[in-house]
Structure 1
Amino acid sequence: MAIGLASTDHFVLLTILICILVHDCSAGYDVESTDTSGKQMSAQLKLAGGTTEFGPDVKSLSLTASLETDSRLRVRITDADHQRWEVPQDAIPRPAAPGPEPKGVLLDSPGSASMPSHNTMSSPSSDLNFTIHTSPFRFTVSRRSTHDILFDTSANLVFKDRYLEVTSALPADRASLYGLGEQKKQTFRLQHNDSFTLWNEDVTWSDQLDLNLYGSHPFYMDVRSGGAAHGVLLLNSNGMDILYGGSHVTYKVIGGVLDFYFFAGPSPLAVVDQYTQLIGRPAPMPYWSFGFHQSRYGYKNVADLDGVVAGYAKAKIPLDAIWSDIDYMDNYQDFTLDPVNYPSKQLRPFVDRLHNNGQKYVVTVHPAIKRQAAPHEDLFLKRNGANLVGEAWPGEVYFLDFMNPRSTEYWARKISEFRRTIPVDGLWCDINEPSNFKDWQPLNALDDPPYRINNSGFHLPINYRTVPASTVHYNNVTEYDAHNLFGLLQAQATHAGLLRDTKRRPFVLTRSTFVGSGRYAAHWTGNNDARWDELARSINTILNFGLFGIPMMGADICGFNGNTTQELCSRWIQLGAFYPFARGHAEKTTLRRELYVWESTARSARKALEMRYRLLPYIYTLMYEAHTTGAPIVRPLFFSYPHDNNTYGVDRQFMLGRAVLVSPVLEPGAKTVEAYFPAGRWFNLYNQSVALTMKAGKRVTLPAPADLANAYLAGGNILLLQQAGLTTSAARQGDLHLLVALAENGTASGELFLDDGESPEMGGAGGNWTLVRFSCDREESKGTITTKVSSHVVRKSYAPTRAQVIDKVVIMGLQSPPKSFTIYVNNVELKAARTMSRTSGVFSVSGMALAIGEKFEIKLVMSH
């Protein structure tokens, strides 16, 4: 045990001020005993004072702090005498809490001169220090290398049966916070006095800001001035309010325990790597899911679906999947078919035609089972000892209990039975908060806790539009504790059911999410409106879910509610073509908005989706990176430029991986776009001969063509592009182009991941896949400049099974024009018979036929 590293005077003053502003400073705990062993510290806390508001205080608490890895610190505080609800291991597998607690040494007079006022646990291999302050109790987490304090609780810890409160001071002038949610927010970076309510809800007023929505993610990233980042997770599934005051963050939780995890970073990418290492890496998505999808609530029959597919083909707009909302069901019941409008004798041939054309079919499913059709099995949520009867689309319903192993087995069986009739390619878990249309009277204290979170922005009862908190799950778990886990558990069961039946990589889309949902499913922003502000805010939400470990993310393109316009729809597909998950979806009462309806929108769609499909090798490689490291596919600019403080507030642009900067039009009638470019070289992705060079970050006014979004390639990157096609399977058949964008020093790098796009594992030890790393270097000698592009094949097992080759290499950012040049491929000169061209700083060579799975080297020798 090391002694030292007390909080700075600045933080002490902040803590005192927050104590005065937020809560009664007489509340809190003292440290009764401590024990430190290696990378673990434990403490026993006793109540000192207390309050009567929200119920009696827990008198004795147990704290354990442990460095679980060199970059992850866990701090867990719970009732010392009684077991409390915690997120179960089978929902989020993770290291078990340490135990039994060391007895420690009793401190006869806490705070006296005979004992230290604080004890610090640290490790030479970790940048995280944990310090416990004894009287009154509080704790700090600091960065050992810089002494920067990352988390500093006030002395007003409150711990009651159904109310927990803790506050941490923050340096308001140096901290930029991101995350927490799910909510629609005006900005990506948290603003002072932002508040977040975490209670999953089927929101009925989709146009409102700052309301709790479908998911709960008590995780934030803090980026300090200068670029050092860390992450903070409160792993707790109970309802809560989180208040961000700029100089502090306060948690008000209605149950469970305080189970904090701190992630050291120090880069933003390192934070999400460390975070997803704990909660689970994002699920690999099948290759086809990165194509364009079309859905609508209100496709009347199979002929309507057929017409939509034909409309896309006629307009030459890519379409990889068509979806059915509840229209396909018989009386809105899962895994049934409307016998009139969607009979199997019509739907099955339609799906077979899709499959023959390389296209897919996805349908929605709900967690509510029609009461009259429910099996006589113990599968459902209960209240008062009987199956809970709620109301949903089928009428009176029972709700499946996905905590019950019999229910998950039933769900898998129903998936398999349905797929024997209609071989769907993915499942869409909707209204799984779970949504319920019935009002409930309180049954006991769980339905009306002493502290009322700000549900729906009006402090509505937690039973509003969902099942009652007094509902009971398997093993007597209450909905009060497990409510926010429902969507996660259904996604988990759906993923397992599809995998078992198809033996292929599952595609699951879920509306309701929790910490770890990305391990099983994709997500979308829910019921958005066809408005310009909703178009802009979709970026914030997608960036947020990248932090949450759910990179496969999108918004309903052209809007779900309300009538869109030709201009809005055109601009939305220009942006949506860069969403990881690109789907058009709309409500049945709205105007039709398939991308071929308006010619101007169709023109935008063809250009935007042509670029998307050409970029698919790069996007799919980003999926591999997300699956192995947690890295978001769509990222804020500060992920690549953390030392540029000007990037911290940018949320009307985003990066696709580290290479592509997207600056969309987000306002009607725009003729230009204001875009921020960090220092470096930037090449127009559409017009490769145009480049911007920034010595320092700068805002630039770009033209806003009516039919495309501005997309720029950052110097220093190598992308592999494929030919465009009307499906992902067709696009994968053509030759590939290597696009090399040189940094100012003449270097660049990139990589390519390839597999069949549907095997359950992505990059597993025994799998059939290929990974190639590309690099470019420059050498100067006696009037000649040699630019060398080479490949390093990390693994080649999949590439030989494909006929694809690199046909063309384009190098951008060369010094020009040279007096002469020579091309060597694997040390053999490429003769002039090959197609070669020179423009201003751009050099292209065609007809290469370079095998992906084989090492190659291309030298461009230029004399000046």
Structure 2
Amino acid sequence: MLVYCSLLLLLAFEVYGQDSTYTGHRLHDRSLVISTTDGRVTLTAYGAEAMAVFYERDHLRQLPSYAIADTAVKTAGAVRDRGAVLEYATPELRAVIRKRPFTISFYKDRERLLAEETGFFAKDTIRGFRFSLGANEKLLGGGQRVLGMDRRGHRLPLYNQGAYGYTTEAKQMYFGLPAVMSSKKYILLFDNAARGFMDLGKSEADVLQFEAVGGRTSYIVVAGDTYPELIENYVSVTGKQPLPPRWAFGNYASRFGYRSEAQARATVQKFADEDFPLDAIIFDLYWFGPDIKGHMGNLAWDKKAFPTPQKMIADFKRRGVNTILITEPFVLTTSKRWEEAVAANALALNPGGKPKRFDFYFGNTGLIDVFDPKAGDWFWSIYRGLMEQGVEGWWGDLGEPEVHPPDTLHAAGTAEEIHNAYGHRWAELLFTRHRQAYPDKRPFIMMRSGFAGSQRYGMVPWTGDVSRSWDGLKPQVELALQMGLLGLGYIHSDLGGFAGGETFDKEMYIRWLQYGVFQPIYRPHAQDNIAPEPVFHDRETRDILREYVKLRYRLLPYNYTLAYHNATTGLPLMRPLFFEDESDPELMDYKDAFLWGDAFLVAPVVDPNLDSVAVRLPAGVWFDYWTGASYQGGGEVDVPVSLQTIPVLVRAGAFVPMIDAIATTRDYSSQRLALHYYAHSSVPEAQAMMYEDDGKTHGAIEKGLFEIIDFAARQRRDSIEFTLGRTSGGYPGMPEVRAMMLTVHNWHAPVQRAFLGDKTLPFAASAAALESTPTAAYHDTEAGRLLLKFAWDGKPLKLGVN
């Protein structure tokens, strides 16, 4: 590796001095095409604030774009020839092209965001770009790494690979991304999936250098006025994540692994016996073989261990539990499908044109060529057969690929050229074929590895084989925030940790699963020497975590609305605190807490034996979710914790829609809706919304099969008024009338009158009396809670107290 790095630097040094000079330009296909003495450069605008730049040189092999989505819309820019420079501009982004030597700079308004230093270079086995960096510029991104939020000063390998048992430092992991987000509010994405490096001021303090052994010589610049807008502009180019099925937000039973049908059935029953909600069970590799080694590629039920899989799947489904199967892209020569895969021409080849065989941990193997349509046909035929048995979701493992010999040849290129796009292409294969076979059904595709834009294929990534330890828990917020900033909003961790752990660390396990309620996917998973499922632990652990899992289900209306925002704008479900104050660059380094949507701030407990946690709060007033205690934001506060609580704070002025606890999302209904509002005089007006659909129809947003409920509050001294409204295209099962319970937290002012429209609401004598009354109000003066109970038919409505 040291020789390789030195070679790259040496070759790069040889080519930086060469001049490339502008010779002409033309507009073609809504792009600016520039001729130079070194080749052709094409600039293509996507929307008003994104621009792709593609350098082409004769005889330099190119690959297709993997980052740009088919849905990305080209925008014709305006061209101005100013003599020494050429300008290509949209209303918000301007490329200034210096003609000699040829370089490009990018401006938003009058501010220079980014500039090529010597720009493009290519020589023998290296190609890439060099950009200038500002003195105080921070750079986030690069995908999964544990390095701190600001990655400037690091040289990042771009080669997806496993990081088994990682803890508080990891420079190279399962899901690298050749992209950075700058504190100057731009994203720079290199549209190249080859092996390489991204040097963020490590070798030269003021230079960002991308280098690769092959691949596409293209990059994309995205700008935005705010960080959320920047992300939205980025996913408008790379693709937006479609809504997952609602059941994906439930609880999963998962381990490495369930070894028999009897064990799986007993586990699902245990969740029911212990009153834990459950929506899915995941089968690791024992579903197709009795041992870890020798069976990968069978991709069929081991009938000795699972004698009636189709009946088992159907029985689970009747209970509201969906079945997810692991699959890998490796077919062992000892598996039952080896000859079948060879005959179907489904495997990547060696230089001699034969299926490439190599050894790795699980045995001697070949690798499915997901870039080849013939291989795709064969692979999908297996998936479809299993879906016809009732399987609802897929877990794609080892898709870096975990072992990928350099002399492996794929239909799209060599292993070195397309390595980082392998998981991306695998997800695309599954997503596209699923859409063709089941056009109205949302897929569930969990993958360990991918590329920029993988979110458009519904990918649900996770942070890999993390150590089962406190040090494994510590980096999970950093990993999630970094991935979410670049479109991968459903990143999550194996709750409780996966790798190692000889004894059960009860507190660590509880803390990890408590935090998990506020991450996109709730999936405890681990090696089974210690049970990953909470139902198999002691009573105190079960009692604490049962309430957290039920809270997860009660928050479904809120969480599902976060999914809607992600699907329409790319806004991640887990958000960094620097979104709150973009004027404070130091906040970009903060990774001890995060925002769960707009309403919640969550700080995981990542050390043992704590009775309080220091939390940095954004400006405004925040309430402890558990106690109602209030805190003034704008600095650091100490939040008390017990084994039963972690810091969860709610923003003053927040609306949080919830439902009653349910056993599975199959029973989901918002017909009984509990709406919580956190009042404070510092927030005289507030608005929020809630998204609802049937939870399963693919493209519900685009088809108009949904409803949006708008909430607004207006507080004046001792009065507060709420406005409810509904926008709806309608969907099957949509409630026509909702039984509403509006709880106003932090309401200590005396209540003279409660009203619903033009009618006065009667007051119940107690909270218990309110339960048996369809329409009434109750003021719990001791707790400072105001409760308003009523029926709502979806028509515009005003209610409140004065």
TM-score by length of 2: 0.89
Instruction: Identify the residue that residue 859 of structure 1 maps to in structure 2.
Output: 800
Structure 1, unmatched stretches of 5+, are: 1-18, 47-59, 106-114, 436-464
The partner residue of 2:179 within 212, 219, 224 is 219
How far 1:282 sits from its partner (Å)?
0.7
The partner residue of 1:30 within 6, 10, 20 is 20
Tell me how far apart the structure 2 counterparts of residues 646 and 806 of structure 1 sit (CA, whole Å).
Answer: 45
Tell me how far apart the structure 1 counterparts of residues 626 and 559 of structure 2 sit (CA, whole Å).
Answer: 17
How far 1:180 sits from its partner (Å)?
1.0
Q: Is the 8 A contact 1:180 1:219 kept in 2?
A: yes
1:815-838 superposed Cα distances (whole Å, 9 cap, x missing partner): x423x4212112221122424114
Instruction: Identify the residue that residue 230 of structure 2 maps to in structure 1.
Output: 271
* Alpha-carbon distance change, 803 to 788 in structure 1, aligned in 2, over 3 angstroms: same
* Alpha-carbon distance change, 334 to 790 in structure 1, aligned in 2, over 3 angstroms: farther
How far 1:470 sits from its partner (Å)?
2.9
Instruction: Identify the residue that residue 149 of structure 1 maps to in structure 2.
Output: 112
Q: Per the alignment, in what secondary structure is the counterpart of residue 474 of structure 2?
A: helix
The partner residue of 1:69 within 21, 44, 47 is 47
Instruction: Identify the residue that residue 250 of structure 2 maps to in structure 1.
Output: 291
Within the alignment, does 1:717 sit opposite 2:650 as a pair? no
Tell me how far apart the structure 2 counterparts of residues 491 and 515 of structure 1 sit (CA, whole Å).
Answer: 12
Q: Per the alignment, in what secondary structure is the counterpart of residue 476 of structure 2?
A: helix
Q: Is the 8 A contact 1:741 1:748 kept in 2?
A: no
- Show the 5 A alignment for 1:362-377: 362-371=324-333, 373=337, 374-375=339-340, 376-377=343-344
Within the alignment, does 1:612 sit opposite 2:552 as a pair? yes
The partner residue of 1:408 within 373, 376, 384 is 376
Tell me how far apart the structure 1 counterparts of residues 695 and 75 of structure 2 sit (CA, whole Å).
Answer: 40
Instruction: Identify the residue that residue 98 of structure 2 maps to in structure 1.
Output: 133
Q: Per the alignment, in what secondary structure is the counterpart of residue 352 of structure 1?
A: helix
* Alpha-carbon distance change, 241 to 739 in structure 1, aligned in 2, over 3 angstroms: same
Q: Is the 8 A contact 2:160 2:176 kept in 1?
A: yes
How far 1:189 sits from its partner (Å)?
2.7
The partner residue of 1:158 within 121, 127, 146 is 121
Give 1:379's aligned amino acid. Answer: A
Within the alignment, does 1:524 sit opposite 2:483 as a pair? no
Q: Is the 8 A contact 2:72 2:238 kept in 1?
A: no
The partner residue of 2:320 within 358, 372, 380 is 358
The partner residue of 2:416 within 472, 477, 480 is 480
Give 2:195's aligned amino acid. Answer: G
1:669-716 superposed Cα distances (whole Å, 9 cap, x missing partner): 1221010111112122233x422233xx11001112112221111123
* Alpha-carbon distance change, 233 to 91 in structure 1, aligned in 2, over 3 angstroms: closer
Q: Is the 8 A contact 1:161 1:255 kept in 2?
A: no
1:299-344 superposed Cα distances (whole Å, 9 cap, x missing partner): 221222122223322332222211110011033334311122122x
- Show the 5 A alignment for 1:113-262: 116-123=83-90, 125-126=91-92, 128-144=93-109, 147-155=110-118, 157-173=120-136, 175-183=137-145, 185-190=146-151, 192-204=152-164, 206-207=166-167, 209-224=169-184, 229-245=185-201, 247-262=206-221
The partner residue of 1:660 within 600, 609, 625 is 600
* Alpha-carbon distance change, 667 to 726 in structure 1, aligned in 2, over 3 angstroms: same
Within the alignment, does 1:831 sit opposite 2:762 as a pair? yes
Q: Is the 8 A contact 1:644 1:678 kept in 2?
A: no
How far 1:198 sits from its partner (Å)?
1.1
Give 1:68's aligned amino acid. Answer: Y
Q: Per the alignment, in what secondary structure is the counterpart of residue 406 of structure 2?
A: coil
Q: Is the 8 A contact 1:817 1:841 kept in 2?
A: no
Within the alignment, does 1:425 sit opposite 2:386 as a pair? no
Q: Is the 8 A contact 1:61 1:78 kept in 2?
A: yes
Tell me how far apart the structure 1 counterparts of residues 31 and 428 of structure 2 sit (CA, whole Å).
Answer: 32
Give 1:571's aligned amino acid. Answer: R
Give 2:789's aligned amino acid. Answer: G
Tell me how far apart the structure 2 counterparts of residues 118 and 480 of structure 1 sit (CA, whole Å).
Answer: 37
Tell me how far apart the structure 2 counterparts of residues 776 and 193 of structure 1 sit (CA, whole Å).
Answer: 47
The partner residue of 1:844 within 767, 786, 790 is 786
Give 1:748's aligned amino acid. Answer: A
Within the alignment, does 1:565 sit opposite 2:505 as a pair? yes
Within the alignment, does 1:387 sit opposite 2:326 as a pair? no
Q: Per the alignment, in what secondary structure is the counterpart of residue 242 of structure 1?
A: strand
Q: Is the 8 A contact 1:34 1:43 kept in 2?
A: yes
- Show the 5 A alignment for 1:595-744: 595-596=534-535, 597-687=537-627, 689-694=628-633, 697-732=634-669, 735-742=672-679, 744=682
Q: Bigger shift: 828-837 or 704-713?
A: 828-837
Within the alignment, does 1:337 sit opposite 2:301 as a pair? yes
TM-score by length of 1: 0.82
Instruction: Identify the residue that residue 272 of structure 2 maps to in structure 1.
Output: 313
Amino-acid identity (%)? 22
Structure 2, unmatched stretches of 5+, are: 1-8, 290-294, 765-775
Q: Bigger shift: 574-583 or 193-202?
A: 193-202
Q: Is the 8 A contact 1:132 1:138 kept in 2?
A: yes
Q: Is the 8 A contact 1:293 1:319 kept in 2?
A: yes
How far 1:171 sits from its partner (Å)?
1.9
Q: Per the alignment, in what secondary structure is the counterpart of residue 858 of structure 1?
A: strand
Tell me how far apart the structure 1 counterparts of residues 736 and 723 of structure 2 sit (CA, whole Å).
Answer: 20
The partner residue of 1:795 within 728, 746, 752 is 728
Tell me how far apart the structure 2 counterparts of residues 748 and 519 of structure 1 sit (CA, whole Å).
Answer: 32
1:350-394 superposed Cα distances (whole Å, 9 cap, x missing partner): 322221111111110111234462322222211111122234677
Give 1:849's aligned amino acid. Answer: A
Instruction: Identify the residue that residue 460 of structure 1 maps to in structure 2.
Output: none
Give 1:404's aligned amino acid. Answer: D
Within the alignment, does 1:593 sit opposite 2:532 as a pair? yes
How far 1:568 sits from its partner (Å)?
0.6
The partner residue of 1:493 within 424, 429, 441 is 429
Tell me how far apart the structure 2 counterparts of residues 742 and 752 of structure 1 sit (CA, whole Å).
Answer: 19
How far 1:717 sits from its partner (Å)?
2.3
Q: Is the 8 A contact 2:190 2:219 kept in 1?
A: yes
The partner residue of 1:85 within 62, 68, 85 is 62
Q: Is the 8 A contact 1:607 1:707 kept in 2?
A: no
Tell me how far apart the structure 1 counterparts of residues 712 and 154 of structure 2 sit (CA, whole Å).
Answer: 44
Q: Is the 8 A contact 2:46 2:237 kept in 1?
A: no
Tell me how far apart the structure 2 counterparts of residues 577 and 95 of structure 1 sit (CA, whole Å).
Answer: 34
Q: Is the 8 A contact 1:335 1:418 kept in 2?
A: no
Q: Per the alignment, in what secondary structure is the counterpart of residue 514 of structure 1?
A: coil
How far 1:511 sits from its partner (Å)?
0.9
